[in-house]
């Protein structure tokens, strides 16, 4: 790196200091990396951890953060110094790179109280729940598609890029390029299908749109509901993650986590204590929801080489997965934040636009800009099925439906949503309705229903 002269507090070089000259003492020459290191440490010490994280990410200089120790054993109030992983290929060094700090990173960043080892071996030994794709059990006849109908349509002023259901399935949120978010009541959306819109005039409180939020300065790219608290989280092209209360009626964020890159994808740890964030940067973030501290894995040799488009936890938090514009899919150990499998070029080198894990954690569904959706066995990184009868030239996700018997994906050729049989890879139905490519599809976690968002500015709620 380029060297930089630093003027000490005692005055400019050559004035009033016996150490002036020779590059020693208070006037010793610092490298740019060292200077940034001091700046980051000072920002953390002053309580500006988010600003420190932004400087660390932008400069590629590792940071340190004072972290609390999790757990209900009386240690929750303690703090210790933990190394944040390097962001530009540097190896962590010094006492923070091993020992207690390394273990503390595993505990804090992933919210687990004990290390999990051999996560892929556990997956291999585990039995399937809904998605039994072993050759001996694979169906040869396609399962008919559920009779999905569009119950409700909501309009934004620009493309709908994100959809998300609350954990209990009672609420649906949509995010748009118009920078707004909408919160909708699922029961009211269903009621519209039977009573029509005339009820709104008599009783405005029956309107499906419960709240509209405004606080971003760019497009809303992804959404996630906290699993246990009335909090909706959004990621945006304005490089921020914003937190909204869904029960107060306030339409502005109550808290912000600032990043240095556009936030493309979000996923909560099942406990709700931590949040994965995939950004336009190659380094995956893990945010502590209590302190808003940001952590980056020390496994820098296995980082993506381009931005991360999609992130997902499995239900047990034993692992999480990421998909990137570099064309690769990575499987991460949920305890020590290290990469345990990399699927390189899984979509013929095209960017990976979405990743999702099956309910039992054994299978991984991915979509890419090669107009294919692929199903992978997580333990072996083996492709077990390919779905390629649709056309997707725009970034669009694929998702399992509620029962994991079908896969829903945008199909530009047919002008709607294609429904694949998960076993036979046959398209068994197509749902028209959107007039532009579908940019978001999310299945309900509690019933056979899903939501879709499109470049036509509309979001639709579908149920069987």
Q: What is the mean pLDDT of each run of 10 residues along the chain (464 residues)?
A: 32 35 45 76 70 68 42 32 33 35 38 41 44 56 93 97 98 99 96 68 79 98 98 98 97 97 98 97 96 94 98 94 98 93 95 96 95 95 94 88 96 89 95 93 97 97 96
- Looking at the domain assignment, is residue 325 inside a domain? yes
Q: Both 77 and 173 in a single domain? A: no
Q: How far apart are CA 355 and CA 61, in angstroms?
A: 30
Count of the separate structural domains present in the chain: 2
Which residues fall within 8 angstroms of residue 25, CB to CB, at 6 or more apart? Answer: 17, 19
SS3 content of the chain, % helix, strand, coil (to 5): 15, 35, 50
| Whether residue 144 sits in one domain with residue 90 | no
Q: Are residues 445 and 367 both part of a single domain?
A: yes
pLDDT for position 20: 38
Q: pTM for this one?
A: 0.74
Q: Same structural domain for residues 224 and 148?
A: yes
Indicate if 87 and 228 belong to the same structural domain.
no
Q: Looking at residue 333, what is its pLDDT?
A: 95
Which residue matches tokens 């964020």? 253
**Position 126 in a domain:** no
pLDDT of residue 423: 94
Q: What per-residue confidence (pLDDT) applies to 58?
A: 65
Q: Which residue range(s) make up the domain with 365?
A: 135-463
38 shares a domain with 154: no
**Domain contains 115:** no
How close are the terminal C-alpha atoms of the chain, in Å? 60
| pLDDT at 395 (0 to 100) | 85
Can you give the pLDDT at residue 94? 33
**Residue labelled with tokens 């959107």:** 434
Can you give the pLDDT at residue 233? 99
Among 110, 143, 175, give the residue marking a domain's end. Answer: 110
Strand-strand pairing, 180-185 and 171-176: antiparallel
Same domain for 196 and 81 = no
Q: Are residues 168 and 273 in the same domain?
A: yes
- DSSP class of residue 74 equals S
Judgement on whether residues 152 and 269 belong to the same structural domain of the protein: yes
pLDDT at res. 405: 95
């Amino acid at each position: 790196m380029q060297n930089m002269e630093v003027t000490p507090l005692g005055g400019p070089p050559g004035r009033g200091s016996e150490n002036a000259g020779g590059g020693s003492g208070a006037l010793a020459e610092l490298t740019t990396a060292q200077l940034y290191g001091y700046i980051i440490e000072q920002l953390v010490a002053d309580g500006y951890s988010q600003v420190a994280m932004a400087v660390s990410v932008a400069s590629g200089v590792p940071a340190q953060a004072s972290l609390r120790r999790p757990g209900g054993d009386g240690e929750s109030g303690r703090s210790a110094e933990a190394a944040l992983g390097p962001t530009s290929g540097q190896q962590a060094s010094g006492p923070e790179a091993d020992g207690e700090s390394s273990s503390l990173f595993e505990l804090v960043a992933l919210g687990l109280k004990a290390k999990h080892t051999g996560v892929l071996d556990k997956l291999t030994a585990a039995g399937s729940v809904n998605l039994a794709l072993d050759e001996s059990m694979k169906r040869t006849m396609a399962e008919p598609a559920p009779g999905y109908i569009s119950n409700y349509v909501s309009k934004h002023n620009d493309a709908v890029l994100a959809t998300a259901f609350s954990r209990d399935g009672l609420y649906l949120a949509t995010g748009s390029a118009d920078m707004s978010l909408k919160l909708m009541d699922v029961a009211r959306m269903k009621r519209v299908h039977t009573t029509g819109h005339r009820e709104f005039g008599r009783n405005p409180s029956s309107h499906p749109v419960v709240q509209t939020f405004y606080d971003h300065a760019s497009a809303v790219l992804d959404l996630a509901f906290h699993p246990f608290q009335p909090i909706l989280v959004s990621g945006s092209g304005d490089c921020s993650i914003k937190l909204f209360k869904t029960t107060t009626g306030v339409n502005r964020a109550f808290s912000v986590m600032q990043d240095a890159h556009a936030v493309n994808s979000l996923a909560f740890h099942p406990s709700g204590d931590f949040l994965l964030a995939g950004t336009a940067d190659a380094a995956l973030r893990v945010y502590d929801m209590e302190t808003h501290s940001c952590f980056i894995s020390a496994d820098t040799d296995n980082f993506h080489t381009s931005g991360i488009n999609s992130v997902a936890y499995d239900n047990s938090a034993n692992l999480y997965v990421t998909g990137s514009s570099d064309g690769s899919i990575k499987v991460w150990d949920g305890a020590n934040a290290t990469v345990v499998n990399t699927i390189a070029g899984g979509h013929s080198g095209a960017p990976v636009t979405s990743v999702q894990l099956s309910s039992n954690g054994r299978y991984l569904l991915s979509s890419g800009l090669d107009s294919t959706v692929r199903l992978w066995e997580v333990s072996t990184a083996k492709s077990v099925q390919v779905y390629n009868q649709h056309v997707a030239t725009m970034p669009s996700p694929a998702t399992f439906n509620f029962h994991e018997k079908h896969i829903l994906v945008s199909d530009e050729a047919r002008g709607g949503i294609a429904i694949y049989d998960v076993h036979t890879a046959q398209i068994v139905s197509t749902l028209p309705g959107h007039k532009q490519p579908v940019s978001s599809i999310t299945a309900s976690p509690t019933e056979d229903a899903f939501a879709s968002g499109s470049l036509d500015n509309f979001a639709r709620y579908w149920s069987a």
